[in-house]
């Protein structure tokens, strides 16, 4: 598998599908994503820019 296939923006459109296929895993990912983007040593704005 080519790594860039994991990071295609078109996968954003499939989030609903992912949440139905594996709700526990999707919810864990969503919680991780939210925590990762919270302000800490870097502001949330800086994190979103990177």
Query: Per residue in 3-20, pLDDT tens?
Result: 666 677 888 888 899 899
Q: Is residue 2 part of a domain?
A: no
pTM of the model: 0.61
Indicate the number of domains in the chain: 1
Q: What is the pLDDT of residues 26-39, one digit of tens each?
A: 999 999 988 887 88
- Residue 42 backbone class (left: φ over 0; alpha: ψ -120 to 50; beta: rest): beta
- pLDDT at residue 23 is higher than 90: yes
Q: Which residue has the higher pLDDT, 22 or 41?
A: 22
State which residues form the domain around 18: 12-49
Residue 5 lies in a domain: no
Q: What is the pLDDT of residue 40?
A: 82
Establish if 27 belongs to a structural domain. Answer: yes
Domain presence at residue 30:
yes
**Residue 26: predicted pLDDT:** 92
The span from the first CA to the last CA of the chain, in angstroms, equals: 25
Residue 1 lies in a domain: no
In the three-class reduction of DSSP (H, G, I as helix; E, B as strand; rest coil), residue 50 is classed as: coil
CB distance 19 to 26 below 8 Å? yes
């Amino acid at each position: 598998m080519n790594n860039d296939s994991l990071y295609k923006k078109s996968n954003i459109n499939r989030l609903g599908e992912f949440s139905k296929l594996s709700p526990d895993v999707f919810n864990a990912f969503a919680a991780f994503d939210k925590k990762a983007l919270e302000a800490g040593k870097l502001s949330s704005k800086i994190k979103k820019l990177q």
